[in-house]
Amino acid sequence: MTHRLLLLRHGEVPSHRGDVAVTDRGLDSAEQVGRRLATTGCIRVLTGETLRTRQTGAAIARGASAAGAAVDEPRVAFALRNPDIYVAGERVDMVSSAAALAEQVPGMTLDEAAAVPFFVEFFDHPDRIGWWLRLGDVPGDDAEAVARRIGHFAASLPDRTTQPAELTVAVTHSPVLRACALAHLGHDPGEPEWLTGLELSVSSDRSVAVCRYPATD
């Protein structure tokens, strides 16, 4: 049996400053995606731990269920998190300001946060994720590490042999999608649109084939 995995970016958010909620338009779009996927039959929805991925996953599940699909209760999957970056012994997220970084590290001052070498360049780069993708020395996960993590995650799907879902929808973030695209498609497509990403087909021998979702010419 081939397992189908949709790795999608979360729905529209008004900004990336903090763990913000998905917009009403983003939630409506996510429900529409769920309705389109309902013809699959049995769907499992997994998300990252952020508010925007959880809200998106819940909206996809609502749309699919309303259209008649059998949908498992959405769950957080640890593999779908953003890259792990380490500062002062703490795991931190890729944030957009020194203030947001300092909030993640107990006792860190704003000046200390603004001087962290990785984030000094990250904050000012016009394409922060693109810069990270090309960086060879990352204080944490580089692009290859993230793509490898998602590869292991996808290849584990055949482990479930009793009533496996026909489709797994995995809601995640731009860095994860761009790292996987670079690893499997050979290029960085840039920032993905909301609720787009990659389709992974996982065979019973755990080999993984990857293409864009939705398919593009």
Dihedral sign (CA 54, 60, 66, 70): negative
How many Å apart are CA 194 and CA 32, to the nearest integer?
A: 13
pTM of the model: 0.95
- Class for domain 3-82+142-213, per CATH? alpha beta
> Max CA-CA distance within the chain?
54
Instruction: Look at the chain and count its residues.
Output: 217
Domain ranges of the chain: 3-82+142-213, 85-134
String of DSSP letters for 139-195: SB--HHHHHHHHHHHHHTGGG--SS--SEEEEEE-HHHHHHHHHHHHSS---SPPTT
Burial of 21 (0-12, 13-18, 19+ CB in 10 A): middle
Strand partners, 208: 202
> pLDDT tens string for the chain (217 positions)?
789 999 999 999 999 888 999 999 999 999 999 999 999 889 999 999 999 999 999 999 999 999 999 999 999 999 999 999 999 999 999 999 999 999 999 999 999 999 999 999 999 999 999 999 999 999 999 999 999 999 999 999 988 877 667 899 999 999 999 999 999 999 999 999 999 999 999 998 999 999 999 986 5
Distance from C-alpha of 204 to C-alpha of 215, rounded to nearest angstrom: 23
